[in-house]
Amino acid sequence: MLRKLAAEFRALPEDEMLSLLGSEFHEARLLALLILVQVATKGDQVMKRRVYDLYLENTRFVDNWDLVDSSAREIVGGYLHDTDRGPLCRLALSESLWERRIAIIAAHYFIARHDHAETIAISEMLLEDPHDLIHKATGWMLREVGKRDRVTLEAFLKKHCRAMPRTMLWYAIERFSAEVRQGYLKGSFDT
């Protein structure tokens, strides 16, 4: 229902959009983000940049995993795909849990285009992150890499599986056979 509303209100003026984004109501913030996704995906590079800037200026309102997961891929990843991806490092190193999650979820845009370098680099930055929501998101993105390039995922796992948080590791390997999963969970690669 919210996605349908977002498509309908794609031309909402920016001040009204910001009012929605700053709402105390989660659903209003989600609607604002879905509208921004619509604008970014249908706009030219100038519009993508405007939405990207607006998004990063207001990350304090993108304060839940579903808000990040519904918006970061298209808004941040979609814009950075054709430009300098350096801002992802700043986001990945942020004190804000939500900005760190934005960094790894934005990389999903690149993964879908068989470009895995940012995902691997950001995943390495997040190996020691203390938050389970980052472990889950990072493991999920690593699993997405593995769907397209198992060799890249396994190289990452062989290098880091012993140090990875268990949740991150489990999410990354959940599509593997039970035997291969057990090997990674034990830190042995004879499987």
Please report, for the chain, how many H helices and E strands are present, in that order: 13, 0
Query: Is the entire prediction scored with pTM above 0.85?
Result: yes
Per domain, the residue ranges of the chain are 1-65, 84-191
With a CB cutoff of 8 Å and minimum separation 6, the contacts of 117 are 110
- d(CA 115, CA 10) in angstroms, rounded, equals 30
Each residue's pLDDT tens digit, 68-83:
999 999 999 999 998 9
Q: Which residues of 18-32 are buried (b: 16+ CB within 10 A; e: fewer)?
A: bebbeeeeeebbbbb
Q: What is the pLDDT of residue 135?
A: 98
DSSP secondary structure code for residue 130 in this structure: -
Please identify, in words, the CATH class of the domain defined by 84-191: mainly alpha
Each residue's pLDDT tens digit, 118-169:
999 999 999 999 999 999 999 999 999 999 999 999 999 999 999 999 999 9
